[in-house]
Structure 1
Amino acid sequence: MASEPAATNDTEITASETLASIVDAYHRMDMELSRYLLFIVLPSALFFLGTVAVAVFVELPLSVRLPVPLLGGLVLVAAVAYPKLLVSQERVEMENQYHLMMTHMTVLSTTNIDRMEVFRKLAEEEEYGALATEVGRVVELVDTWNQSLDDACRRRARQIPSDPLADFFERLAYTVNAGQELSEFLLSEQQVMIQNYVTMYESTLDNLEVMKDLYMSMVLSMTFALVFAIVLPILTGTNPTMTVGAVIVLYAFIQIGFFLVIRTMSPYDPIWYYPDEIRPDGEWSMIASLAAGGLLSVVLIALVAGDLFRIGPGITDLLPVASLPRPIYMAIPVTPLAIPGVVFRIQEERIKARDDEFPSFIRALGASETAKQSTTTAVLKTLRKKDFGPLTGDVDDLFKRLNMRLEPDRAWEYFTANTRSYLIQKFSEMYLVGRQMGGEPKQLGELISENMNHVNQLRQQRQQATVTMIGLLYGITAASSFAFFIGFKIVDILAGMSLDLSTSSQFSAAQLIHTEVYDLPVIQFLLLGVVMINAVLSALIIRTVDGGHKANALLHFVMLTWIGCLVAVLTMSVVGGLLDV
């Protein structure tokens, strides 16, 4: 009995902490609390009450009434929880960039610049987003309000939503106050920083595993609901188009919701680097693949329209068949989109291979520069003969540009642009800046190499999670399409059988089987729409979990569409052969 009050107290504490965090999130917003409640929360509450009134007073099927207030409730919950989500998004953004900023800060601290200059340079890095903003606030407290660096860090630590960053600012304030050098502190913090980043990254991947299981449960539940919405109206006489349409809308909302949650939870670890001024090698081939894929898709759409609507030459005029199953007509026009998907995927695999080789290159470059006490150009003359895999050609090009007396900044810009790697660009910039400001090459190379090796190891774990997600989504696509079109084909067969029953029975078969309420072509069109929606959102989920280029989603979209359509054709053919007697 004594454990029950303890459990109650724990629940009350958790509820109070959650409420306090929500209230704190409201106070962190840029908009005033009263304005947010008046212009956002109040209209959302009125919209929710309106949807409840529609569900209660308007004569609609039960399958339509239920989703309407759910939509209103979703809008209200989103309005109330948005400030909390905003703070969580800011926290995730900080933690995603935490390791890069810490490495950058450590590199700058080992040079010959003042410690406040380190903070000023980091505050100017817009790429760090919320982290740069926080560092800028520390600079503002020191420069504008004449506070000491330790007081400014301690003051901001109480306002930062990220616990690891708040702890770092607290430790930094204590260290600065004790008189320790900034470089010594940051070098000693490297292992702590790396461990914090690894923990955050792995916990995010674990959360994605939980979301994967929850996604599978919800999608399979909605699949069964859609099958029931197809089959049950034949017994109840309700309008199947309305019920199927309502369930499809709810199905789409659930998938969109999961996609947004997964996008929010996925670690920010971009692979591609997009230079502003330089056209990297292979740029035109990727642009040409996008143009070719889009143009061919438009042509195939016109040919499919010619077949379906008899408005011109059709796709069957090019094939030795008189007609094609309707699902195949939907899959054919999207097929050329696989062309840019394959091209971008090949480029991305090359980028990942360069990322694997870069730690060895930068460590060798730093160690050689320190040992020989010579310039980067002289060291690269030897290093370019070594095998760095896919990075070898880029290293050779870097040496040639430096040897032609091209400005080092410009030569490294071409190097990072042609590798197209986000991490190589960031770490190369750090190394170059550190060298120009007097940093020790060997120390810089080892520091950057160690950090990038940890990121590459985490990417391997992310790749394993992506492979699991791909298998899950492909399997769900096949299973869902199988279930959808089994229900559709059964209804189609029963509709044909009812004509024979009505002539041989003493009462009309329509009293038992309500086939007259079905518009089968419309139902089939709606189910194919579900297949397309599932293909789009599943491809986006895979791309989000993978973290690669957006064009990678095109290849998965084409494959998922074909899987759904082929399973639909095979299901209707097999079920028709078994039941159509």
Structure 2
Amino acid sequence: MFEDVTERLRAANQGKIPFEEQAEALGDLRSTILENKKMEQDLLFMYTYMAAITTSTVTRPEIFQYTSERFEYIPSRYIAKVQRLVAGWGQNYSNALRAVAERCRNGTLQSMLNRYANSIDSGVPDDDFIGTELSSIRSIYRNSFEQGIELLKKWGDAYIAMLLSGALVAIIIMISVAIYAPDGIESALNSSYLIILAISIFGLFIMYQAVPDDPRTHGLTEICSREQGVIRRLERLILPITAAIGLMLVLVGANAGIIFLLIGLLLMPLGVIGYIDDANVINRDTDFATFIRGLGSIMGGKGITTGDALQEVDRKSLFHLEPFIDSVSSKLNLGLDEAGSWKKFIGETGSYLIYKYMNIFRDAVALGGSPDAIGKIVGSSMLEQVLLRRKRDMMVKGFVVLLVPMHGAMIGIFVFLFEILLSMSRAVTEVMDRFAESSAALTGGTSSIGGSMATSLNIFVNFPEDVMRTYVITILLMLTVANILAGKIVMGGDRYLYYFFASLLCVATGVVYIIAPIMVSAFFNIPAFVEV
């Protein structure tokens, strides 16, 4: 059916689908952004793998063949193209590397491919070149990561400042409507929505580009950490319930603060468990750098198998990995499948870096490489990323500590001011009505100067409460969603952290929206005329 529609569209538009070129351009832009974002980290993984397998007696074709099979690394896809040119078309490696480099859109990868081609022409041994390149890519990755952190600091501050400015514009529009009560306020309200939306999209996009790529969870579906398993089970129950309850409350016209608060409280278990899992993964990654070095040293120094070496690893210093090491060691001692045991170890830790580096270590050892040298190579690359992650976490804590109070302050100012304006409007309207009634009674129903004054003095009168309440709720929703996305982008981690920020910010928004009218009615009273 869809093929027929496509063919009819092509026939009606000279062989093209409407907006086909624009869609392809956007798709290419998206793939380029994602590829460039992941490239440097994947280059570090790939070179760590290549350096690890060169500790064994592998030939150049084997290096390219084994590396090309690691499709989880983006650069390996380009190595696969090189291997196809050599194996399928009979080209030599230097020409194939240059041919692939010409079509590569990433500058770092293009430079690497050309350097590899030059080293082959110069007769440099592969292991020497790969070792040098591994050191270089670590420096490049470190520099890029640190630059991203610095940019993220600046753009994080800029995002908060711009969002505060947008909220200020929304507040000014609300005050203007309250004072003058003009007709046709929809255009002013729509412009406020547009300003908030534009600031949010621009700020979030810039922060996303600046933030270093640092996935933390492996995303394996069959095996995961205990916390990730709990979240996946709870998601199936909590998310539909939250959506259904939220939709039902919206349809019955419930208080917006109650809706925000209820959504935040329902998502809070997912957010708390996700935050705990994120912290556990970070701690396990820190321990793994030490563990893999020690395991490789024991295996290489004593010439024993992995199972025997695990018995001699000092587990007391590996507090966060100790239960997982005990588990895999017990399985290997019982004679269970080694690949399956390590797969379960990787899955239960929940870590993306452990998933990558443990597989590199095992593959290189299986090819006959030196466990001692492999452990040092893998441990050094892992330690590099762990230390850089610590730098990022220091900045993230400062941003989050600023983001949540800033969100509460923005929401508080907006909602409290709305309630004050609403209270003033009601009080002034009541006073003016009484004044008009008194004037009419004194003059016997004829017009008077007082009545004319009451009619002309329309400040804070005719405040469109329903329209402005919808306006306030819409602005609150936009600010809350934008800050949820900002917190997740800056903090990184798995999607579970969306629940963490959603629970925090929705609860804050709901509490402020609920208590604002209570506090305004308690502390903000306008005296009215009373009859004597």
> Is the Cα contact below 8 Å between 1:384 and 1:395 reproduced in 2?
no
Uncovered stretches (5+) of structure 2, i.e. residues with no partner: 1-13, 437-449, 528-532
Q: Distance in 2 between matches of 1:431 and 1:132?
A: 17
The one-letter amino acid paired with 1:215 is Y
Give the alignment partner of residue 524 of structure 1, picking from 461, 469, 479. Answer: 469
> Is the Cα contact below 8 Å between 2:346 and 2:358 reproduced in 1?
yes
1:282/1:470 Cα in 2 relative to 1: closer, same or farther (>3 Å)? Answer: closer
The one-letter amino acid paired with 1:237 is P
Q: Distance in 1 between matches of 2:373 and 2:460?
A: 78
**2:92 is the alignment partner of 1:148:** yes
The one-letter amino acid paired with 2:524 is L
The Cα offsets for residues 238-289 of structure 1, whole Å up to 9 and x where unpaired, read as 3345532442244134313432443343222111113243365455433344
Q: Distance in 2 between matches of 1:385 and 1:221?
A: 53
The Cα offsets for residues 438-466 of structure 1, whole Å up to 9 and x where unpaired, read as 10000000011111111001111111222
1:566/1:580 Cα in 2 relative to 1: closer, same or farther (>3 Å)? Answer: farther
Match in the other structure for 2:138: 194
Deviation at 1:515, TM superposition (A): 5.6
Give the alignment partner of residue 340 of structure 1, picking from 256, 260, 270. Answer: 270
1:580/1:217 Cα in 2 relative to 1: closer, same or farther (>3 Å)? Answer: same
1:385/1:37 Cα in 2 relative to 1: closer, same or farther (>3 Å)? Answer: same
Match in the other structure for 2:499: 554
Deviation at 1:395, TM superposition (A): 0.9
Q: Distance in 2 between matches of 1:384 and 1:275?
A: 28
Give the alignment partner of residue 171 of structure 1, picking from 86, 94, 115. Answer: 115
Give the alignment partner of residue 452 of structure 1, picking from 367, 378, 382. Answer: 382
The Cα offsets for residues 356-409 of structure 1, whole Å up to 9 and x where unpaired, read as 101111111111111111111111122265441110111111111212222322
Q: Distance in 2 between matches of 1:224 and 1:261?
A: 22
> Is the Cα contact below 8 Å between 2:408 and 2:508 reproduced in 1?
yes
**2:524 is the alignment partner of 1:578:** yes
Q: Distance in 1 between matches of 2:405 and 2:19?
A: 40
Match in the other structure for 1:500: 431
> Is the Cα contact below 8 Å between 1:337 and 1:555 reproduced in 2?
yes
Match in the other structure for 2:235: 290
Trace 1:366-515 onto structure 2 (pairs within 5 A).
366-383=296-313, 386-496=316-426, 497-501=428-432, 503=435, 505-507=450-452, 509=454, 511-513=456-458
Match in the other structure for 1:266: 211
Q: Distance in 2 between matches of 1:80 and 1:179?
A: 41
> Is the Cα contact below 8 Å between 1:384 and 1:396 reproduced in 2?
no
Match in the other structure for 1:61: none
The Cα offsets for residues 396-428 of structure 1, whole Å up to 9 and x where unpaired, read as 111112122223221211110111111111111
Higher relative contact order (CA 8 A, sep 6+): 2
The CA RMSD over aligned residues, in Å, is 3.2
The number of residue pairs the alignment matches comes to: 498
1:305/1:179 Cα in 2 relative to 1: closer, same or farther (>3 Å)? Answer: closer
Uncovered stretches (5+) of structure 1, i.e. residues with no partner: 1-34, 45-77, 310-324
Match in the other structure for 2:11: none
Deviation at 1:571, TM superposition (A): 4.7
Q: Distance in 1 between matches of 2:236 and 2:81?
A: 45
**2:221 is the alignment partner of 1:221:** no
